Amino acid sequence: MIKYLGSKRTLVPVLGDVAASIGARTAVDLFTGTTRVAQEFKRRGVTVTATDIATYSAVLSDCYIATDAAAIDLDELDDVLARLAALPPRAGYFTETFCVQSRFFHPKNGARVDAVRDALEAEYRDSPLYPILLTSLLLGADRVDSTTGVQMAYLKQWAPRASNDLELRRPELLVGSGRTLLGDATETVDLLEPVDLMYLDPPYNQHRYFTNYHIWETLVRWDEPEAYGVARKRIDARDEASKSVFNSKREMAPAFADLLRRARAEVVVVSYNDESWITADEMMTALRDAGHADVRMLAFDSKRYVGAQIGIFSPAGKKVGEVKRLRNLEYVFVAGPTEKVDAAISTASSTRPPVPG
């Protein structure tokens, strides 16, 4: 999976156990990001809708959630991946913007991304393989980038992995059904059918995913936007339309409380952490005000994201600050009818700790 801020890799077993313990048959992952949690729900036999404002998330969801592995001819998929991987490199917008004007990828890999992405658009746009192939390219590019995990800056010295050759591996598809809904949660929440379980994992601070992962937006949209600054960000990063209310300290809490009131699910699960704008008490109150009979919370000690482990970097890759804390608390709030909340909490508290130590 791609490197992603706030990705719930370590909480996945807990959240999967929660879904199983309440007998969920339908679920929504409202801020799906990498789709990791939605994938775990699907693995447990739940029919999932994955939503996010990011277009790369929608592609990941079309691949892992909306595609039923049983409907895909894996031999054909492997043949197509092998053919795409053998295309001659051809430097274009991606190479110029992210390998010459900036140094996010080695030019040899940039030229292969250009060639593969052009072929996907020309030959596979209407194929059911399209999101799978594009996911393979996205994951392949992520494995050879030269960043600390966000695309606001590239490293001054090439990351060792950047000199590896881009590989197109087959994504691990899942059997089952699901759906993708691309859009702003403040709007999509009203379009969703009522479900057994809704999981909400909103952004935690002012750092926008649209700018942190602008290269994935561009790779998926393939729209060659005007770029600005050292990181060659998309010019529409300056538009209001690409901003999220959940990245605004002033607007986040009321907007999230409003979202909780509109979320139509028997059980609502929220993850958040202890460094963010809404305190645990406020979150419990917002969930109670949304009409849930019972609200409880679990806290998990968690390692902070990888960028924070190694320091704070300037756009030129110079270390400009030290990280003060390397651990934080991940909160998981569970809200719903008492018997379901009881079941979820007793199962989740006995799930093995998500992080060693």
- Residues in touch with ligand SAM (CB under 6 A): 4, 6-8, 31-34, 36-37, 52-54, 57, 184-186, 201-203, 209, 244, 246
Cβ closest to ligand SAM, residue 178 vs residue 317 = 178
Nearer to ligand SAM, 109 or 244 (CB): 244
Residue 121's Cβ-side half-sphere holds a number of Cα atoms within 13 Å equal to 11
Residue 6 CB, nearest approach to ligand SAM (Å) = 3
Which tokens go with 213?
């992962």
Given the complex with ligand SAM, which of 6 and 171 has the nearer CB atom?
6
Burial track 198-213 (b if 16+ CB lie within 10 A, e otherwise): bbbbbbbeeebbbbbb
User: Based on CB atoms, which residue is closest to ligand SAM, 14 or 37?
Assistant: 37
Cα 51-141-182 angle, rounded to 5 deg: 15
Contact 54, 217 (CB under 8 A): yes
Q: How far is the CB of 147 from ligand SAM (least distance, A)?
A: 17
Q: Least CB distance from residue 34 to ligand SAM, whole Å?
A: 3
**28 or 227, CB closer to ligand SAM?**
28
* Residue 90: its H or E element: none
Least distance (Å) from ligand SAM to the CB of residue 276?
10
Query: What is the C-alpha separation between 91 and 201, in angstroms, rounded?
Result: 38
Contact yes or no for 196/24 (Cβ under 8 A): yes
Q: Which is nearer to ligand SAM, 186 or 347 (CB)?
A: 186
Q: Least distance from C-beta 165 to ligand SAM, angstroms?
A: 27
Query: What is the C-alpha to C-alpha distance for residues 71 and 237, in angstroms, rounded to an integer?
Result: 37
Min dist CB 305 to ligand SAM, Å, is: 10
* DSSP H helical ranges for 146-243: 185-188, 209-212, 214-221
